[in-house]
Structure 1
């Protein structure tokens, strides 16, 4: 059973599963709380309960061994990719779960096509993989910086659609989340990193330069999502000004997706039923 009808209806408004050249992330409110109860403590408890349930589901997912799950987290600096991974997947056993944090390609990676390094890290059977950034960086940063033109960007959208279709047709379930925060919230979080010695290591001076290109990045996200949203590989726009709501939405979508897979433990070995360990 998935979430109740009210929750499913709320989530549907934030799901993008069809190409739309006019799509705009700015039409979504980053401060919204579509799954909120009005009680922050209660919502945090719900996240904890979901994380515990996901731990149990992951154990079954690994034992079942028929499926692969790829969770893509995209978002501008401070949108909460690391925090989401900790809150949603932190209770899971390291066996069968891993995360990949994508950075600028190295020399060997640049010498190959941009999807080469990505394909090497997709999940194996029974495995859950979380991408902290992803192949979508190759249609965001190069577009904003002017390293590729509009024609090349459209080519890459098509490559990505074909790549994700290949993954889906060979047993991978893909969930893509765009963690959507406001410019004011980003300013607050960046300042918090600067002011807190325990968080200052996260801040880079380049972050200010990237922030100055806010509008360009919003447009790049809009174009990328509008070009790569499909039924088999949908996008979920996650209002992320509230960390609790962000975690609640991602955890709920992942939980409901895993429940729908009809996961089963392998057939038991009947010869083991009466075995006694001495």
Structure 2
């Protein structure tokens, strides 16, 4: 049987379809065991985070993409709760601003990349440029791209080039030590409806809801098609996508934490070994301290 990460991992499957992935899947896990399992996974990941920082060779970029109400924020909060905040960087990307539009679409995301030894978390990412813009191509016109002065110029060739830019961007990062994990939190339309209603009924969650959320929900099928195409075009062996069920938040968090843990384990990190002269200095320092 496939491991939990392998059940959700997409690399180069050209026949990929979201319909093949159950949004309510929870493997053999039970909700009452979730808290203890997640706590253990976070504890193991925290230990490896220290090794990642000490080795100072790799960085880890974790990307979260999803429809509204899929639980990105809570997933980030829970799965990263036990990590050292000094070794983590979290960026939430909203709509591009005037300064962003003065540069290419990858610019602001490049600026937010994690340093060696650190974990970077992108809540939404450069993929918005082939998701939201695919559903709303008029947004592309704000980028002032040569030869793109009308929506009719935004054709298949344009999107193919943009997917290629993303693949090359990630290939470059991977070759230089940035390990990339891309999560799509796969939510059902029915579950989104339930969560939207909770946001409307709960005064403390009203701020999370906007009337525009309903307008985007009306484009659900368009978004699903955009996600399918994007994942198909940009999933590679080096930078895979993980399509994680999102109807049960407790399982979503277990799956995410398991994938992150396994990814870091696969790096086979070790604490740096000091040169002989540095080891000698340590021994001398120890002697000095023991004399006090």
TM-score, L = length of structure 2: 0.88
Runs of 4+ with >6 A deviation:
none
Match of 1:28 among 17, 21, 24: 21
Instruction: Answer yes or no: is 1:272 the counterpart of 2:282.
Output: yes
Say which one has the larger Rg: 2
Q: For 2:192 and 2:158, how far apart are their aligned partners in 1? A: 30
CA distance, structure 2, for counterparts of residue 150 and residue 26 of structure 1 = 24
Residue matched to 2:146: none
Deviations 1:192-224 (A, max 9, x none): 111111111111111010111100000000000
C-alpha root-mean-square deviation of aligned residues, in Å? 1.4
Q: Equivalents in 2 of 1:95, 1:63: separation in Å?
A: 13
Q: Which structure shows the bigger proportion of residues in helix conformation?
A: 2
Deviations 1:99-118 (A, max 9, x none): 11011110010111100111
Query: Which residue of 128, 133, 142 corresponds with 1:137?
Result: 128
Shift in Å, 1:52 = 1.7
1:166 aligns with 2:172: yes
In structure 2, the partner of 1:110 is: 101
Determine the C-alpha separation between the residues in 2 that align with 1:102 and 1:184. 26
Structure 1 segments unaligned to the other structure (5+ residues): 1-5
Q: Name the CA distance, whole Å, in 2 between partners of 1:254 and 1:29.
A: 21
**How far apart, CA to CA, are the structure 2 residues paired with 1:31 and 1:109?**
37
Take 1:150 and 1:78, find their aligned partners in 2: how far apart are those partners? 30
Q: Please tell me whether the aligned partners of residues 4 and 258 of structure 2 are also in contact (alpha carbons under 8 angstroms).
A: no
| Aligned 8 A contact 2:196 2:209 in 1 | yes
Q: What TM-score, normalized by structure 1, do the two folds share?
A: 0.93
SS of 2:157 mapped into structure 1: helix
From 244, 251, 254, the equivalent of 1:238 is 244
- Say which SS state the counterpart of residue 73 (structure 1) adopts: strand
SS at match of 1:74: strand
**2:68 alignment partner, SS class:** coil
**1:77 and 2:85 equivalent?**
no
Matched, 1:12 2:6: yes
Separation in structure 1 between the aligned mates of residue 137 and residue 268 of structure 2, nearest angstrom:
45
Please list every run of 5 or more consecutive structure 2 residues that lacks an aligned counterpart in the other structure.
139-153
Partner Cα distance (1:66, 1:170) in 2: 9
CA distance in 1, matches of 2:83, 2:7: 29
1:59 pairs with 42, 46, 50, which one?
50
